[in-house]
Amino acid sequence: MVKTNPFGRIAKTFVVVTITARVLTWLTNNIHPAQNTHAARPNAHPAGHVPFDRPRFLEGESSLSPGPHVPRLVPRVTRRQAGVFGRSPSPRHGLAPLRAVPEDTRSDEELRTDAGIIPAERIRNFCIIAHIDHGKSTLADRLLENTGSVESREMKAQLLDSMDLERERGITIKLNAARMLYKAKDGHDYVLNLIDTPGHVDFAYEVSRSLAACEGALLVVDAAQGVQAQTLANAYLAINNDLEIIPVLNKIDLPQADPDRIVEEIETTVGIDCSDCILASAKSGIGIEDILEAVVERIPPPQPSADKPLRALIFDSYYDAFRGVIVFFRVVDGVLRPRDKVRFMASGKEYDVTEVGVLTATGEQKVDALMAGEVGYFSASIKAVEDASVGDTIVNARQFAKKPVEQLPGYQPATPMVYCGLFPVDSEQYPLLREALGKLKLNDAALAYEPEVSSAMGFGFRCGFLGLLHMEIVQERLEREYDLDLIVTAPSVVYKVKEKDGTEILVETPSKMPSPPDRNTETLEPYCRMEIITPKEYVGTLMDLAQTRRGDMVDLKFLTPERSMLIYKLPLAEVITDFFDQMKTRSQGYASMEYTVTGWEANQLARLDILINGEIAAPLSTVCHRDQAHDIGKALTSKLKELIPRQQFPVPIQAAIGAKIVASSKIPAVRKDVLAKCYGGDISRKKKLLQKQAKGKKRMKMMGKVNVPQEAFMAVLNVRDEAGKSG
């Protein structure tokens, strides 16, 4: 029997108690509310200064506990433990009694005054809108650099373009927000909340959402290229949102810049006053100070309601693996603090806010509270991605239970223009693809998807996009960010079949289109109004392009003696394939386009099926106009003949509308020389071998399956171009 030393146990217990007492003493001296409130700190921020790095000291709360997952050491000490250490004669072992945290009932203005936060009348929310490559992101870099929002060692080109795809392609894909502190010439400090927006037509929904969170906009126009199609579209969006527009002529240091001509063009085309237009060069830093002063002087401050209950508008979000859904929002009324219980009005779900902060150029920065008129983010450990939707209204759950408030207007849902199928190469990745699409939709509200089953590719999703570029970006983001290997089917638009009794059926996939069309039904397709702005020397070739795509001219305007605007009405199906690329090719890159969907029109449409060895390949089916069926079928069968490998038997490839074959081609069989071993002798021996081979190939053709490579499913992407060349 082993004897134990009781004195050793006593010594160990004494050491543990001593260490525990020292830890509690340190916590008492460093975290006690009486010593750590904002009012008692000698280095409290003076009035007029925004404390970006101010700790979230709340009465009785530890600054070491940012969320519910971190243990709160002090509040969990029991009264018995406090009494034991409180009896010690040494003052180091004393622990002050804990106090309950009272509810903060201060108003918006009182909170701003007590915390030294800049008042709402010195807050400016604005965005930058422009055509592609007119210098939006570069101008945002100069504004951040001039206001000192970014240190020189952290400064880089396109700072707000955080995605790798944005830097690789040189375009802005996502709206990005940044908070700047600017000391104006009047001596006051101002908070400038900047939102950088995309310029491509496929990401116009990002622009519309950012405009709803602002009171003003910088309309940037290239001093050499002038007004482009997206310049007009974005300017009209800003006007419809009743924003204060500040015109900025960028790139004035270019040799070909002509500011006087561009100013006149803006006034004539857009219809806004450019008498106080700002001349600038974002690359060289010219006019940046003038832009900042114009933002302060001309853009109105937000009009918050300090005494009203909380109402906030969600304009963006993303999914974080550790914190859940991170919501970007603008506070319209009231105030939002950590530990508030919020309610999402669309889903009805309630969550406890764990973190509130602002968006800076280098990341997210925690703050004590966000007041009415401010833009920021919050996290609440939201794991269900469908609970936080863009355009939803956030309210305080406790205030809402006492007195319901009116929901904010939000955003109009984006209408997809292009549809395609997304299928995982490995069928086991289907659950991963479903989860990835749900998380990606948080960050890309224009994406729409629903499950789809294909006999050729298995389980996948039918996805809707705003354009071909949007489709490419979503595919690349899914493959890069979620490590998926995907197959993308050919893009198509939605058609409508109208029955004789007036019933309308939406056809989202070509396989659902009746073939051949019933005489008692009417097929409709979406049409769009397209505006093409081009130099006058390319008017003829662009008119020819529009007419070959079944376009009808609406108007021809001369904006200036050197620039024209073509207005056409075209089927959307003719636009979404390669119209943009062909327009850029024919105009040597100078033309720009903008289109809006106008409605549905009846047309002679038919489903063109592709038969491979007598079997319909559903993923290769497409919907086309009857007059183009022969050219498209011929181009498609020729393309498939190049892509499908040769078999042991001849493989016919046919394009058909119903039972009518409109085009065909044949892949010859791989030749096997069965006479190689016959060096001579009777000819009947050779004939017998050839007849035996012919019977075998006939049997293989009846029973054999043709493996179609994945490249063949993308062949219809270039079918319009091939059909145009053959026609």
Q: pLDDT tens digits for 537-577?
A: 899 999 999 998 889 999 998 887 878 899 999 998 888 77
State whether 136 and 277 are in the same domain: yes
CA distance 448 to 463: 6
State whether 548 and 588 are in the same domain: yes
State whether 453 and 380 are in the same domain: no
State whether 136 and 89 are in the same domain: no
Q: Is the confidence at residue 101, as pLDDT, over 50?
A: no
Query: Which residue ranges make up the annotated binding site for GTP?
Result: 130-137, 196-200, 250-253
Tokens of 632: 């498209």
Please report, as a single letter, which amino acid is at residue 446: A
State whether 519 and 473 are in the same domain: no
Residue 268: closest CA among 651, 560, 22, 517: 560
What's the start-to-end Cα distance of the chain, in Å? 103
Q: What is the pLDDT of residues 256-310, one digit of tens each?
A: 888 998 898 888 888 888 888 999 988 888 899 999 999 999 999 887 665 788 8
Q: Is the confidence at residue 620, as pLDDT, over 90?
A: no
Residue 111 within any structural domain of the chain: no
Residue 360 vs residues 177, 266, 365: alpha-carbon distances, Å: 7, 33, 7
Q: What is the pLDDT of residues 39-91, one digit of tens each?
A: 333 333 443 344 444 433 333 333 333 444 433 333 443 433 333 333 334 44
CB-based contact 230:139 (threshold 8 Å): no
What is the domain range of residue 616? Answer: 609-726
Angle formed at CA 100 by CA 94 and CA 102, multiple of 5 degrees: 140
CATH number (domain holding residue 350): 2.40.30.10
CB atoms within 10 A of CB 652: 15
- 467 phi/psi in degrees, rounded to 5: 175, 175
Residue 437 within any structural domain of the chain: yes
- Given this model, what pLDDT does residue 157 score? 65
State whether 172 and 274 are in the same domain: yes
Q: Is the confidence at residue 2, as pLDDT, over 80?
A: no
State whether 552 and 675 are in the same domain: no
Q: Is the confidence at residue 195, as pLDDT, over 90?
A: no
- Looking at the 3D structure of the chain, how many domains does it have? 6
Tokens of 100: 């309950």
Residue 408 within any structural domain of the chain: no
State whether 217 and 337 are in the same domain: no
CATH number (domain holding residue 714): 3.30.70.2570
- Given this model, what pLDDT does residue 72 score? 38
- What crossing angle do the helices spanning 229-240 and 204-211 adopt, rounded to 10°? 30
- Given this model, what pLDDT does residue 305 score? 66
Q: Is the confidence at residue 627, as pLDDT, over 90?
A: no
- 661 phi/psi in degrees, rounded to 5: -85, 125
CA distance 68 to 379: 12
Q: Which of 77-86, 105-114, 551-560, 705-714 has the lowest average pLDDT?
A: 77-86
Q: Is 667 exposed, middle or buried (0-12, 13-18, 19+ CB in 10 A)?
A: buried
Residue 534 within any structural domain of the chain: yes
Residue 496 within any structural domain of the chain: no
CA distance 427 to 433: 10
Strands 375-379 and 355-360, sheet pairing: antiparallel
Of 549, 579, 603, the position where a domain reaches its end is 603
CA distance 409 to 698: 67
- Given this model, what pLDDT does residue 279 score? 92
State whether 206 and 283 are in the same domain: yes
Of 553, 580, 603, the position where a domain reaches its end is 603
Q: Which residues pair with 443 in a beta bridge?
A: none
CA distance 167 to 114: 42
CATH number (domain holding residue 454): 3.30.70.870
Cβ contacts of residue 655 below 8 Å, gap of 6+?
608, 609, 610, 611, 629, 632, 633, 634, 636, 637, 661, 662, 663, 664
Cβ contacts of residue 289 below 8 Å, gap of 6+?
146
State whether 164 and 291 are in the same domain: yes
Dihedral sign, Cα of residue 589, residue 595, residue 722, residue 640 = positive
The H or E element that residue 665 is part of is strand 660-667
CA distance 143 to 149: 9
Residue 553 within any structural domain of the chain: yes
> 342: pLDDT confidence band, cut at 50, 70 and 90?
very high
State whether 395 and 435 are in the same domain: no
Of 69, 100, 131, the position where a domain reaches its end is 100
State whether 124 and 264 are in the same domain: yes
Residue 107 within any structural domain of the chain: no
CA distance 254 to 225: 11
Query: Which residue ranges make up the annotated binding site?
Result: 130-137, 196-200, 250-253
Q: What is the pLDDT of residues 201-237, one digit of tens each?
A: 667 777 777 787 888 999 999 998 888 877 887 888 8
Dihedral-angle region of residue 373 (phi above 0 means left; psi in -120 to 50 means alpha; beta otherwise): left
- Given this model, what pLDDT does residue 570 score? 92
CB-based contact 130:221 (threshold 8 Å): yes
Residue 478 within any structural domain of the chain: yes
Name the residue with higher pLDDT: 118 or 302: 302
CATH number (domain holding residue 532): 3.30.70.240
